[in-house]
Structure 1
Amino acid sequence: MKIIKLSATDSTNSFLKDLSRNSPLENYTTVVAINQTKGRGQQQSKWVSEPYKNLTFSIFTSFNDLKIIHKKYLNFAISLSIYDVLLANTLSKIAIKWPNDILSANHKICGILIENTFFGDKIKNSFIGIGLNVNQEIFPEHLTNATSLKLETAIEYNLDTLLDTILVALQKNIKLLDAKEFNVLEERYLSVLYKRNIPTMFKNSKDEIFMGMISGVSDFGKLQVLLDDDVIKEFGIKEISFL
């Protein structure tokens, strides 16, 4: 496994994608940035990270036989990898907030961005960007819901050691994906999905407020919410939020 360490870059995902255009990449090639100046999240949102304090990195993975229709299981595998590592570090009340934010006691500690390339009906490669708040203790005022490992555990973490642990967990879950153990991944993901089967107030993209319960994730990766009239409605990213 090749690990490339950068003092600074705008986006590790962008850097890794540019690298792949110029030369073949070894599977699990990883780019780590001490300072990521323009980190990206879902739907063009930004990931803000203090230099030298956190992990901002991207991983290249290639697949031989992962169909696009099974894309949600890739998301499950990556999310569970971070979840497993945080759980092993005794963080409290860890959960995955759909689709792939990781929460600790209702506060966001990790964001994931997965960008894929396709060939026919299959996913050829994935560029997996991960931002994990590790030793940062003060966040910008607008990030009212952010936390870090150090804030949650009062422990200072070695970033290199933590990265190695994450990469091991990721390879373990990717093996389940390659082996098409989709049911295993889905069962585990749903068992730790934030607010699943709990009556919750939501707001949709039209600012309409309604009550529902998260019941699962559709074949196309949309969030399934059981409404008051026993109808299950599906929502894409940015189409629904917690009130």
Structure 2
Amino acid sequence: MKILKLTETASTNDVLLAHPAPPNGEIVVAIADYQTAGRGQAGNSWESERGKNLLFSILTCPQNIAIADQYVLSMAGALALKAALDRYTNHITLKWPNDIYWRDRKISGTLIETTVKGKRIDRCVYGIGLNVNQREFRSNAPNPVSLYNIIGRETPLEEMLDAVLRSFELYYRRAVEGDRDGICAEYNAALFRREGMHAYEDCATHERFEARISRVAPNGRLHLTDTQGLERTYWMKEVRFIV
């Protein structure tokens, strides 16, 4: 694994998107003390106090993953983050499609950018923001939390990064070696609000309804069952959790 350490950059994802393809399946990591233009899904920004959190990206070239199964890579990355955080606290869950939650609060988010070649994934860049030691959040983000807020003490960033990368290597190898079903099962078992009925909003119609999660498929589609017993399926950004 190759690690690029940066004091400041616009975006670690941009650094790795421009990086040459690594040889022999090597994983490349870019980590910055501060990002001036860090971003999340749909162009959302990520608030981070300088030097307090982990802001990093991971470049992989999983060329044996079919485009239809690319969300399995997202599942693997989410499970790696959960495994690392589980060493420090309980109640960590995976909020579809790309967040990590502690109880009802967001501790981490991931932006995944992929390129394709033919019918396969050519390269996949995971952009990860993980709130580690920040004590206060001043943006209008509704529910951020840091590991410091949870456990009441600071955690060395190098220690946390090492835990995440060790877990990532394990889950990523499982994904590229074909353990799609095992990763999907583990991901679904760890989902935020996995049990019971909860409130959602259809982003197209603005209808609010209650439903339970049936599953998230390998292609990333969320399957819900509403109070009438009807199945509703959604892609990313088509439905909103009411938190």
Work out whether the TM-score is over 0.5: yes
Which ranges in structure 1 are unaligned for 5 or more consecutive residues?
Answer: none
Distance in structure 2 (CA, Å) of the matches to 1:96 and 1:158? 23
Residue correspondences, number: 239
Q: Secondary structure at the match of 1:185?
A: helix
Instruction: Pick from 130, 148, 151 the counterpart of residue 150 of structure 1.
Output: 148
Write the deviation string for residues 146-174 of structure 1: whole angstroms up to 9, x where unpaired.
00011101121111121111111000001
Q: Is the 8 A contact 2:72 2:218 kept in 1?
A: no
Q: Is the 8 A contact 1:213 1:226 kept in 2?
A: yes
Write the deviation string for residues 43-77 of structure 1: whole angstroms up to 9, x where unpaired.
22111111100000001111231111111211110
Distance in structure 1 (CA, Å) of the matches to 2:175 and 2:210? 34
Q: Is the 8 A contact 1:197 1:215 kept in 2?
A: no
In structure 2, the partner of 1:35 is 34
CA RMSD between the two structures: 1.3
TM-score (norm 2): 0.94
1:76 aligns with 2:78: no
Give the letter aligned to residue 168 of structure 1: R
Q: Give the Å deviation of 1:104.
A: 0.7
Distance in structure 2 (CA, Å) of the matches to 1:64 and 1:112? 21
In structure 1, the partner of 2:8 is 8
Question: Counterparts in 2 of 1:1-243, with a 5 A limit?
Answer: 1-18=1-18, 20=19, 23-26=20-23, 27-89=26-88, 91-205=89-203, 206-243=205-242
User: After the TM superposition, which segments of 4 or more aligned residues of structure 1 sit over 6 Å from their partners?
Assistant: none
Q: Give the Å deviation of 1:236.
A: 1.6
Q: Give the Å deviation of 1:109.
A: 0.2
Query: Cα 1:224–1:55, aligned 2, differ >3 Å: closer, same or farther?
Result: same
Distance in structure 2 (CA, Å) of the matches to 1:141 and 1:32? 23
Give the letter aligned to residue 30 of structure 2: V
Q: Secondary structure at the match of 1:163?
A: helix
Which ranges in structure 2 are unaligned for 5 or more consecutive residues?
Answer: none
Q: Secondary structure at the match of 1:88?
A: coil
Give the letter aligned to residue 229 of structure 2: D
Write the deviation string for residues 25-60 of structure 1: whole angstroms up to 9, x where unpaired.
352111111111111111221111111000000011
Q: Is the 8 A contact 1:134 1:157 kept in 2?
A: yes
TM-score (norm 1): 0.94
Q: Is the 8 A contact 1:218 1:234 kept in 2?
A: no
Q: Is the 8 A contact 2:215 2:223 kept in 1?
A: yes
